[in-house]
Amino acid sequence: MQADQELIPISDWMRRTTIDFFQKNKDAMMVKGYVSLSNPAIVTIMSTTYEPLMRDTHFISCKAREILLDHTSGEVIRDDELLRAEMEINAHVKSVHEYFDTRIAQADQKLALHGITQDSMQRKERNYETKICSPTMTHFFNILYKADVYLSQLHYLWMTAELADDDNEAMRVRLNAERDVRHQILAMCRLATQHFTLVRRLCMAVKDQRTEQRRLSAERDRQITIERAERQRVIAEREARAKSKKIERHEKRVGKMAESLSVAQEELDRVAAGAVEEVSPLPA
């Protein structure tokens, strides 16, 4: 980037969405950079697809593995599904790279006949700030740059009548090619969104399963607590009954002892009374 070139911040070119990726993923590791683009159509595609693609690829490669990690075993649940999603996205990204590499090479050959090279084309590039958090996003900006170059080449091929001999046919070829460029980029983004939807559904299912497991575990704990309390209540009642019976038996023994003592005391009193009568002096 030239020292005098202005870097357009993400906040100026990214279309606002409800995804709010940067606010919701403040801890996500990012690599800052920039991409040089000249075609407004490519800038529009970048502005509308950047944040959804960032969310999709970051969730599949990073966030989902955090959610699906089994802390007991240390394994990632259904990691094969995540790998399959990543491999399919990577394969599609590779095919898009090949698509643009082939067409740029073919355009270079045709333009060389007119003495035109990529360096000699008049492309008013502007530098746009970028942040990436996955390899797919790196490829995304590389593909955008290739698409930007290819659209410039298409314009030069159209101006030099290399697309077709007939002007109307040349315009049709150019418009179809431009449409195909948009389709290639958007198809890559749609594929990532499809896999994001499937992986998120998988994560939600695992979350629901864990929630149900926690509910069942809490229910078991509650039942165990109730049973323990019931056992303690039964034991306490048994002990209370045993204590009550012990006290009752003790009271009966005390009562019998008191009764026996009372009888013995009465007997002693009678004996004492009789002895007194025997020793009393005779009247005069």
Question: Do the bridges between strand 7-8 and strand 31-37 make them parallel or antiparallel, or are there none, so unpaired?
Answer: unpaired
Phi, psi of 20 (to 5 degrees): 50, 50
Neighbours of 80 (CB within 10 A): 9
pLDDT at 284: 52
What's the pLDDT tens digit per position in 151-177? Answer: 999 999 999 999 888 999 999 999 999
What is the spatial distance between Cα 102 and Cα 281, in angstroms, rounded to a whole number? Answer: 154
Q: What is the pTM of this model?
A: 0.77
pLDDT digits (tens, 9 = 90+) for 265-275: 777 777 777 77
**DSSP percent split of the chain into helix, strand, coil, nearest 5:** 75, 5, 20
**Regions of the chain where pLDDT drops below 70:** 1-5, 276-284
| Interacting residues of 149 by C-beta distance below 8 A, sequence separation 6+ | 104, 118, 123
The pairs formed by 98-106 with CB atoms below 8 angstroms and a separation of 24 or more are: 99/184, 100/143, 100/146, 100/147, 100/150, 100/184, 101/146, 103/150, 103/153, 103/177, 104/146, 104/149, 104/150, 104/153
Look at residue 271 in the predicted model and tell me its pLDDT: 76
pLDDT of residue 283: 57
CB atoms within 10 A of CB 111: 19
